[in-house]
A and B are shown apart, each in its own frame.
Chain A
Amino acid sequence: MTTLQFVFGDPRVCTGCMICVNVCSMRYYRVLSPERSRVRVVRLDHGLDFPLFCRNCEDAPCIAACPRNALKRGKNGVITVNSRFCDGCGACVEACPYDAIRIHPDTGKAFKCIQCRECVDWCPVGAIWMTTEEQLSQRDAEGGLRRVYEENASYIYQRRKNA
């Protein structure tokens, strides 16, 4: 089976500049707009800036949740939204544990990161990179990085409640 890749970031290294956010909305929607970006950056206390992306979950609850089969995982392992099928019902948005799918304010359709890695190329501090779950476990052998995410999960994944 294809190795599932995703973009991941270190909130202890990220400086919060939001360049990734702007690159994404410009590349895909030709505007500068965090609301129309497939990545979001959340600044929290203690000097943490979280760059947050689709995690390309193996069990992909977004696919399972879609009543119209609009979400599919391609041969390259990337999950995409078929806009012809999507009616913007938001079931995938509810299902995503990482708040990584949203409904686009202009199209009314779901949209998400497709691991194009454009943002990775732009990041001025190397705070984000392409990885797999396995590579991430190796890189974060002592678990410090994952712990930072877990400890702040209620803030970084509660975006819709707070927005």
Chain B
Amino acid sequence: MIKGIGGTVLWVNLTKGTIQKRPLDEEIVRRYLLGAGYLSRMLTDMIPVGTDALSPDNVLGVATGLLTGSMFPQASRHVIAALSPLTGIWGESHAAGFWGAELKLAGYDAMFFTGASPRPVYLNIHDSDVELRDATDLWGRDVFETDDILRRRHGLLCRVLSIGQAGENLVRFAAIMNDRDRASARSGLGAVMGSKRLKAICVRGTGAIEVADPERYLAEMREFHRRMLANPFTPQRAKYGTTNLVELMHHIGRLPSYNFKTGVFEGYEKISGERIAKEYLIKPRSDWCCLQRCGRYTAVREGPYSYEGGSPEFESQSSLGSRCGNDNLESILYAHHLANMYGMDTISLGGTISWAMEAWEKGMLTADDTGGLDLSWGNHEVIVRLTKMIAFREGFGDLLAEGSYRAAQRIGRGSERLVMAVKRQEIAGQEPRAQKSMGLAAVTAARGADHLYAFPILDEVGFDEEIKQRHGEQYLPEMSDRLSPKYKGIMVKESEDYMVVVESVGVCKYGTQIPPEFYYDDIAEALRIHNGLDLTAEDLQTIGERIVNLNRLFNVARGVSRKDDSLPARLTSEPAPAGPPKGQVVELEQMLDEYYRERGWDLKTGIPLDSTLERLGLERL
């Protein structure tokens, strides 16, 4: 019997309006853990090849991790997955907050939504009472209104997960929001929820999480807390969150600017974390048992962009800022706030707008296409306007709501070359010519362009000690050199395996990857005292590998192979024009070869070899 979990999974058939409770299959947990790994196994088996992501045949899975709701530092996370309407392949997204812990306290580890409801509904969970309720009055409401209404109706202490108008309107990069400003943003899963006419999941859990080793629990957790707080990164993180990455990344030429034309941005100081901390920060905020406190609470007090609310973080600053040539910080903060309110991924939002801005600059888009909007670089009024128009699919916003890949397909005129995406998902805020590992990670990630699936950062600011520990001294100095392609295949493979484990236990990449304070041994120890699971570091690493290979098989079954593991030509053939990476391109093929070899995947096709699948106990789909 695994401890520290709810033990029950909810199965909701939205077509029929029925709810079933089934015990969690612990055998699956032993092979795939919970969270991302569990959803990978379950959904891979449930979603037929050929399914349209926005049809009732898609299945939306939500899961907490094994440690979600525990006292391990940053154990606040849940995972959502489905076939992605943006990429057509594996779609997965994660968020922190309190919602996941609340679900555990109500007694549940995961839930699956099949079919589609004929009318808008929401799921209301109060411990063992679970019901689908009419959401007609919520449909059309934004994320904050939905949160207000549901907590007024069901209690202030409820935790709400919902979509905003973007999800309802099937924006292909719509997010699923929880606790108001936490976002499962990538992969467009908000549109899947919208297509199922599921508006929200409101949870109140008054139960208790029983841990495996209550005797040692506090002492062990205290030591994890002590280490996290003593880490030199922690005070910085608390002070700036991720917002000061703007200045750090500008200085290493890794700040995507002007749709990835360059990695330096002349206006970086105007949109910096330092400025946010000085002028707009009210205070840092935590999610459940979070010691990193990267969450922000901010406000713009006057003017057209005034608001008050949670966040932002680096990705929003770069995507809505430098990437669009926009140095008006208040507009960035406000557009980001609107994206939370309507429920949209700010990375794809800014990525799509910046694509349009470059197409405008090159004359591929004109006022006839945009309905008169002037898409000049840095036109912050238009960025804010488009944020709303996309969420509501108004005018030109209707085209951009499809994401940059589909929009370019429709416009043509050579604008396809300007799409900065991998497998149809917009690349996040890491200019890969300035950090080669990020270029590789973006193409190997299961959900399309993504910095988090691997989150390779050991080369970001030279974690040489950790490289020694995790890989071995023989890989230095090349592995820690951002601009060297050497050993990056090895690093990305290792990072992916570890990060999917992290997403399966429900803790954060902060603390496990940056700073790299906790590693497999620590996770294994936490799983022992919290869950009573006796898994070694090696077991966990193998599980990580198994999950990554399973995600690959999901995508291979949908046509993905080496040909799709590619970057926009700009990044592999146009030398970076400025800053420290000046003259650099991404040597992708060389890194991919190393990566496939390391993975045990066929070098020509990028498909897992029989011997690899056999070793991991996986079968082809």
Contact = CB atoms under 8 A, between A and B. Distances in A.
B220 to A, nearest CB: 11
A26 B238 CA distance: 26
Contact of B286 (A17, A27, A162): A17
Given A33-B208, A33-B209, A124 B291 contact: yes
Contacts of B289: 17-19, 22
Nearest to B299: A47
B284 interface: yes
Nearest to A27: B218
A17 B291 contact: yes
Contacts of B19: none
Contact of A15 (B155, B210, B283, B308): B283
Given A25-B208, A29-B208, A122-B225, A16 B286 contact: yes
Contact of B229 (A26, A45, A124, A155): A124
B330 interface: no
B209 A162 contact: no
A8 to B, nearest CB: 18
B283 A31 contact: no
Interface stretch (A34-42, A88-96, A135-143): A34-42
Contacts of A36: 208
A31 B209 contact: yes
A130 B208 CA distance: 27
A26 B283 contact: no
Interface string B202-217: 0010111111001001
B408 to A, nearest CB: 40
B455 to A, nearest CB: 23
Nearest to B218: A26
B230 to A, nearest CB: 11
Nearest to A23: B218
B211 A17 contact: no
Contact of B284 (A15, A33, A35): A15
A116 interface: no
Contacts of A35: 105, 206-208
Nearest to A118: B218
Contacts of B89: none
Contacts of B214: 26, 30-31
Interface in A1-34: 12-13, 15-19, 22-23, 25-27, 29-34
A112 B332 CA distance: 46
Contact of A17 (B69, B156, B288): B288
Interface in B34-79: 69-71
A159 interface: yes
A46 interface: yes
B208 A17 contact: no
A97 B291 CA distance: 32
A124 B225 contact: yes
Contact residues on A (Cβ < 8 Å of other chain), bracket: 20 to 34
Contacts of A124: 225, 229, 291
Contact of B285 (A23, A30, A49, A155): A49
Contacts of A155: 156
A35 B107 CA distance: 14
Contacts of B211: 26, 30-32
A22 B101 CA distance: 12
Which of the four size classes fits the interface of chain B? 35 or more
B241 to A, nearest CB: 11
Contacts of A26: 71, 211, 214, 217-218
B70 A32 contact: yes
A74 interface: no
Nearest to B298: A47
B71 A22 contact: yes
A25 B204 CA distance: 18
Contacts of A25: 208
Contacts of A31: 208-211, 214
Contacts of A162: 155-157
A29 B208 CA distance: 10
Nearest to A30: B214
Contacts of B436: none
B286 A42 contact: no
B309 to A, nearest CB: 9
A46 B285 CA distance: 12
A27 B157 CA distance: 23
Q: Which of B105, B156, B225, B288 has the most CB of A within 10 A?
A: B156
B297 interface: yes
Contacts of A47: 282-283, 285, 297, 308
Contacts of B283: 12-13, 15, 47
Interface in B248-304: 282-291, 293, 295, 297
A29 B287 CA distance: 23
A42 B158 CA distance: 11
A134 B225 CA distance: 33
A13 B238 CA distance: 12
B133 interface: no
A47 B208 CA distance: 27
Contacts of A18: 98, 288-289
A59 B207 CA distance: 33
Interface in A42-61: 42, 45-47, 49
Q: Which of A27, A46, A47 has the most CB of B within 10 A?
A: A47
A29 B218 CA distance: 12
A32 B71 contact: yes
Contacts of B209: 31-33
A26 B206 CA distance: 15
B470 interface: no
B22 interface: no
Nearest to B204: A163
Contacts of A27: 218
The 10 A-B pairs with the shortest beta carbon distances in the complex, nearest first, are: A33-B208, A17-B286, A31-B208, A47-B297, A15-B286, A162-B156, A30-B214, A32-B209, A47-B282, A35-B206
Interface of B: 69-71, 98, 105, 155-157, 204, 206-211, 214, 217-218, 222, 225, 229, 238, 282-291, 293, 295, 297, 308
26 contacts: A12-B283, A13-B283, A15-B286, A15-B295, A17-B288, A17-B289, A17-B291, A18-B289, A19-B225, A23-B218, A26-B71, A29-B208, A32-B71, A32-B208, A33-B209, A35-B208, A36-B208, A46-B282, A47-B285, A49-B285, A106-B208, A125-B238, A162-B156, A162-B157, A163-B156, A163-B204
Given A16-B286, A17-B287, A31-B210, 13 more contacts: A12-B283, A18-B289, A19-B289, A23-B218, A29-B208, A31-B209, A33-B206, A33-B207, A33-B208, A106-B208, A122-B225, A124-B225, A125-B238
